[in-house]
Amino acid sequence: MSDMVDLVIFGGTGDLSTRKLLPALFQLHRHGLAERLHRIIATGRAETDTDSFREEARGNLQRFLPEGRWDDGIWDAFRERLYYVRVEADHPQHYSDLAGLLDTGEAPGRLYYLATLPALYGEICRQLQGAGVVDEYSRVVLEKPLGHDLASCHAINAQVAQVFDEEATFRIDHYLGKETVQNLLALRFGNQLFHPMWNNTYIESVQITVAEEIGVAGRGSYYADTGALRDMVQNHLLQVLSIVAMEPPATLQPGDIRDEKMKVLRCLEPISADNVAECTVRGRYAAGAVAGEAVRGFLEEDAFHDADTTETFVALKVNINNWRWAGVPFYLRTGKRLTRRYSEIVIEYRRQPFSLFANDPQELTNKLVIHLQPEESITLHTLNKKPGLRSKLKLKPVELHLTDDDERDEDSYDAYERLLLDALHGDQTLFMRRDEVETAWRWIDTIIAAWEEAGTPVKNYNAGTMGPNAATALVAVDGRQWHE
Ligand SMILES: NC(=O)c1ccc[n+]([C@@H]2O[C@H](COP(=O)([O-])OP(=O)(O)OC[C@H]3O[C@@H](n4cnc5c(N)ncnc54)[C@H](OP(=O)(O)O)[C@@H]3O)[C@@H](O)[C@H]2O)c1
């Protein structure tokens, strides 16, 4: 792709664009990192114009930018980059209008960001090609969810592939844009301290939790047909898992990193009707209280009365069948209306074979906890001598914080800033390759089929808790507990 790029956002008036993409672009502009970006052309179905769109964007940015980041001077320059074109996805004339606007610019590169219904992705690509605005300098970014199962994902990918090569296709999972997820690569492959112990000889188990406080109100019938497994595990949790579990890549080039992630996905042990009861838990929130506020249950929300087979919580025990991870369970869980909003990875090391100390052996474990949200940080749980004359050689847990707080505050950014910057520069490292997404769907489909075959129930949990009791039992039968 040539240096200068026009960014066209399909769904430019939608929630994602308003809350995430435009604030991220403003921040890149503010940091002087948007030098490749020429214009930002938002599209939607409304018959509005560029001036009105700019006015609306101004209010939205003031609302959604992180505190203290609004700046009138920066806005004056940024607003000049913003344009609006009305585009109905299946309306050729609207693409001609878009092509007319693109032709007036100086940027030969085009980045089409599809932040709209995935069912429209194929049509939008086809229409863009028909309007003559796709060439070797064009790329496309695809928002999740890419389909509902392997077949629908494959269909979307195939339609997009008729217009854009794989090298020009950027599939987003915003978890990959998080600093701490990238830091996992640095931690694992940059430190002799961790790398030699990153295997089943030293690691007992791995937990990945993505907990949300929010419910599903506002997500209409989409969530009723989706559920937590498809909505969160297929993408965010499996992407994080594959980075935790991957082998060292040959280089840091996108192809090498994605090859290694892909190998992990291929080694996931299938979950079938035979082991689905011991490896999965499905839950659905009932009424309860979150952050001190009473909330309704999932089936009491208007759009979800009939969605009694939809899970809002899922916990899985996952085995990775390869030399590094055989015998190390990866416990995954995610859900809505849980105790609090947080995401973390917990690496639990094996206990020493013999203890010299007067502690309960249960206490003698090291853990590495990688916090992904709300704050991004890494904590190593170690054991020190309990100080003082009274306790001779007793141990107490001590937390070592491995994050450079000063640098973090200075350089903190949203995942979408990282990903937009990389897409503008054509770097695919933090984007998902087609085979990764499809392999993940293939594995998820086996679980859904197993649930159907085994009639796996969706168990209630009270909003404001960490899921159904069965999730506690899932790890307890292995003698473990969730890290809280
Ligand atoms: N919101 C998030 O936080 C989030 C997070 C991750 C992924 N995503 C994904 O991002 C995509 C957009 O989500 P969203 O929450 O922003 O949705 P949204 O608020 O419903 O916005 C949808 C956008 O698509 C446009 N649109 C709808 N139908 C269209 C059509 N037939 N032709 C042309 N444009 C059309 C809408 O334009 P109008 O102005 O005409 O309505 C609007 O700009 C979805 O794939 C979603 O799953 C969203």
Task: Convert the pLDDT of each residue in 84-118 to its tens digit.
Answer: 999 999 999 999 999 999 999 888 899 999 999 99
174 known ligand binder: yes
212 known ligand binder: yes
For residue 114, report the distance from its CA to the centre of ligand 1, in Å. Answer: 9
Is 257:247 a contact under the CB 8 Å cutoff? Answer: no
For residue 334, report the distance from its CA to the centre of ligand 1, in Å. Answer: 24
For residue 318, report the distance from its CA to the centre of ligand 1, in Å. Answer: 33
As a three-state string, the secondary structure of 39-104 is EEEEEECCCCCHHHHHHHHHHHHHHHCCCCCCCHHHHHHHHCCEEEEECCCCCHHHHHHHHHHHHC
Our answer on whether the CB atom of 366 is closer than 6 Å to any ligand 1 atom is no
pLDDT in the model for residue 409 = 54
Domain 5-143 sits in CATH at 3.40.50.720
Report the residue among 15, 87, 146 best suited for mutation to probe ligand 1: largest number of ligand atoms under 8 A from its CB.
Answer: 15
Our answer on whether the CB atom of 235 is closer than 6 Å to any ligand 1 atom is no
pLDDT in the model for residue 255 = 95
231 known ligand binder: yes
Ligand 1 atom at minimum distance from 11 CA = 43
pLDDT in the model for residue 26 = 97
CATH superfamily of 176-414+432-476: Dihydrodipicolinate Reductase; domain 2 (3.30.360.10)
Ligand 1 atom at minimum distance from 174 CA = 6
Our answer on whether the CB atom of 329 is closer than 6 Å to any ligand 1 atom is no
Residue nearest to atom 10 of ligand 1 (CA): 115
Our answer on whether the CB atom of 145 is closer than 6 Å to any ligand 1 atom is yes
Examine the residue annotation and report whether 236 is marked as an active-site residue of this protein: yes
Could you tell me the residue ranges of all domains in the chain? 5-143, 176-414+432-476
pLDDT in the model for residue 406 = 61
386 known ligand binder: no
261 known ligand binder: no
Our answer on whether the CB atom of 289 is closer than 6 Å to any ligand 1 atom is no
pLDDT in the model for residue 452 = 96
Ligand 1 atom at minimum distance from 222 CA = 47
For residue 115, report the distance from its CA to the centre of ligand 1, in Å. Answer: 5
Neighbour-count burial for 447-460, b at 16+ CB within 10 Å, e otherwise: bebbbeeeebbbbb
CA dist 46 and 84 (Å) reads 10
371 known ligand binder: no
Give the model confidence (pLDDT) of 174-186 as tens digits. 999 998 888 899 9
Extract long-range pairs of 64-72: CB within 8 Å, 24+ residues apart: 64/18, 64/19, 64/20, 64/22, 64/23, 65/23, 65/26, 65/27, 66/23, 66/414, 69/26, 69/27, 69/30, 71/30
Which of 29, 94, 236, 381 is the catalytic position? 236
For residue 143, report the distance from its CA to the centre of ligand 1, in Å. Answer: 10
pLDDT in the model for residue 356 = 83
pLDDT in the model for residue 405 = 65
For residue 484, report the distance from its CA to the centre of ligand 1, in Å. Answer: 35
CA dist 170 and 419 (Å) reads 9
Strand order in the sheet with 377-385: 395-401, 377-385, 367-373, 342-349, 203-211, 330-335, 313-318, 280-286, 458-462
pLDDT in the model for residue 357 = 83
pLDDT in the model for residue 410 = 53
Q: Which residues of the chain have pLDDT under 50?
A: 1-2
